[in-house]
Amino acid sequence: MNLKLKEFTTKNGEIILYNGNPNFEILERLSLGVGDIWHSSFEQGYKNAFPELVYQTATFFWYLNDFDQLDECVSWRINPHHFAVRKSVWEILNGFDAEYKNSQLQALDFGYNALRNSGAIPLYVKGLFEITKKDAIEINAKDHYTFFIKNFKIEHAVFMLFRKGCWKWNEWIGFFYAKKYFVQRSNIPQIPVRKLQEIQGNPNVSYIIPTMMRQDFTQQLLIDLSNQTNPPSQVVVVDATPENQRDEQLYHQKKYSFELIVKWQQTKGSCRARNEAIDLCTGDFIVFGDDDIRIPADYIENHIRFLQTYKVGACAGLDIRADHQKQNLNDLQKKLENYGSKRFLSGAVPNFNNANNCVKREFVNQLVGNDINFDGGYGEDNDFGLSLAKIGVIVLHNPFSTNLHLKPPMGGYRFWGTQAKIIGKKRKSQPWELDTPVKWIKPVPSPTIMYGILKHFTPQQLVEYRYKYFFLFLFKGSKISFLYRLIKIPYRQIQFNKSLFYAKKLMSLGKRTK
């Protein structure tokens, strides 16, 4: 594609490159916000284009599907004939890849890598380009496999060949063509993170700590919070420690600069705990954290500065795993110094972590809290983050707010979840079992993970997840144990179906917050 982009200079002197005929008033406004690339491709035939991406990512990419009923949202599916991009971003990312002959794939590849690997933010903006003519998306087998070979490991292209039909001659031609002429990219460029602005106004921050049988770790976290350069106005601790193991005076042995609210949890589950805490929050922002983390003094300040600098409603900080539970903030600093080139990479988050995130309270209230169907299992934090994205909140990775995650072997809400590993009469039922207790067949994968897939992805994508799950189970292990895994496939199918059974029961209940 012989692409000649035009230039638009904003009132701030920034140059925006564009193709087509954008609304310059809207483009001026957008240039002051979070986005780096803008398009209106949903109305032009590109919404959910290149569904073959499912063969690589299965259901582990928030932006596999474009979101519905939003005027602005993150989307990597760019129309090459109608888009705009910051000139600085275009030059850093080296524009479209000329090795692709297909201009549509050039734009899709550019948007995909900008979003997933380079820390740039491509946004769909309704009305930026008024063109509503729908293009026919024409991407053939050679194009499909070229995209996969250039972006992923070879096994993903092999899996796509298997799923699209290894009996189809054109699929083999496309696969061997791409394998012969292209290799996987390396050294993908990154967009520099923006310089943080000083805090504007006097925003209040509420900090939520759900905890269970880790009162000593929670007390240490409270000390870290009291040492903040921008301390929270309020800290809400929801403690599920059993009465015979708790020290009810522990939290009040020291006076803090913030309001400390301690609620002894009578219900079960970390999602319920967070929702109970949310009801007590009064801050403009809510910071969610685990009980087993250490945070440096600028942690909360950097969360607020980051959100205000990028003008977004939510971010997830950099969660660093400790080597052992005795490590401290000096160890965190050493780990950060050795983190590597992605230390200051921002962009839209690929997942969400309840150990370290900050969200405007108005958006937390819009979601009405966490979905308690996830209690007793896994995936609640990713569900919360993806739910934010689906209502139009741009959720960014914040590399400035870091924590050290101690991960002690005892305590925490996973104490309840350990029962999920037990079968038979000794097992205590989990919340997701509802009225059908697990007996002798343990559902795998976790039914709450399966519930998240049913909740956010299409039935066909669930089918592809199933194929990918068993493909990896069979071929990712050692060659020595391959025959054992092959023999075990029928039993694993039963476990998978059992997990799906519970997930469907949760789906029938719908999202619950109480």
CA distances from 27 to 93, 124, 293, 452 (A): 20, 12, 41, 36
387 and 347 in one domain?
Answer: yes
Report the C-alpha gap between 366 and 357 in whole angstroms. Answer: 17
Q: Are residues 394 and 471 in the same domain?
A: no
Quick one: pLDDT band at residue 430, thresholds 50, 70, 90? confident
pLDDT (tens digit per residue) in 446-464? 999 999 999 999 999 999 9
Q: What is the DSSP string of 456-499?
A: HS-HHHHHHHHHHHHHHHHHSS-STTHHHHHHHHHHHHHHHHHH
Does pLDDT of 413 surpass 80? no
CA 229 to CA 239: how far, in whole Å?
26
Could you tell me which residue, 269 or 303, shows the higher pLDDT? 303
What CATH number is attached to the domain comprising 278? 3.90.550.10
Same domain flag for 387 and 426: no
The per-residue pLDDT for range 145-193, each reduced to its tens digit, is 999 999 999 999 999 999 999 899 999 999 999 999 999 998 899 999 9
Q: How many CB atoms lie within 10 A of CB 184?
A: 13
Spatial distance between the Cα atoms of 185 and 406, rounded to a whole number of angstroms: 35
The mean of the pLDDT values for the chain is: 93
Q: Are residues 29 and 155 in the same domain?
A: yes
Q: At residue 337, does pLDDT exceed 70?
A: yes
pLDDT above 90 as % of the chain: 82
Which amino acid is it at 405? H
Q: What pLDDT score was predicted for residue 315?
A: 97
**Residue 200, domain member (yes or no):** no
Q: Picking from 64-68, 120-124, 252-256, 320-324, which range would have the lowest pLDDT averaged per residue?
A: 252-256
Query: What integer is the mean pLDDT of 89-95?
Result: 97
Select from 405, 437, 472 the last residue of a domain.
405
pLDDT band at 420 (very low <50, low <70, confident <90, very high): low
Show the tokens assigned to 338. 């050795």
Would residue 371 count as lying in a domain? yes
pLDDT surpasses 70 at 414: no
416 within some domain: no
What phi, psi does 214 have (nearest 5°)?
A: -140, 45
Instruction: Please tell me the total count of domains within the chain.
Output: 3
Residue 144 maps to a domain: yes
pLDDT, tens digit, for every residue of 283-293?
999 999 999 99
Q: What is the CA radius of gyration of the chain?
A: 24
pLDDT > 70? residue 60: yes
Does residue 410 lie within any of the structural domains?
no
User: Once rounded to an integer, what is the mean pLDDT over residues 477-506?
Assistant: 94
3-state SS, residue 290: coil
The backbone torsions φ and ψ at residue 454, rounded to the nearest 5 degrees and listed phi first, read -60, -35
Termini Cα distance of the chain: 54
- Is there a single domain that holds both residue 19 and residue 132? yes
Looking at the predicted structure, is the pLDDT value of residue 416 above 80? no
User: What is the band of 427 on the pLDDT scale with cuts at 50, 70, 90?
Assistant: confident
Q: How confident is the model at residue 53 (pLDDT cuts 50, 70, 90)?
A: very high
362 domain-assigned: yes
Q: Which of 405, 436, 456 is the last residue of a domain?
A: 405
User: Do 373 and 499 sit in the same domain of this protein?
Assistant: no
Domain presence at residue 194: no
Tell me, what's the pLDDT at 411?
67
Clarify whether residues 440 and 376 are in a common domain. no
Residues 316 and 279 in one domain: yes
- On whether both 166 and 282 belong to a single domain, the answer is no
* Residues 365 and 237 reside in one and the same domain: yes
Q: What range defines the domain where residue 225 resides? A: 205-405
Q: What is the pLDDT of residue 417?
A: 60
Q: Same domain for 376 and 302?
A: yes
Do 22 and 118 have their domain in common? yes
- Mean pLDDT (whole number) for 256-276: 92
In a domain, 189, yes or no: no
The structure's pTM equals 0.94
Amino acid at 222: L
- What does the alpha-carbon distance between residue 368 and residue 249 come to, in Å, rounded to a whole number? 32
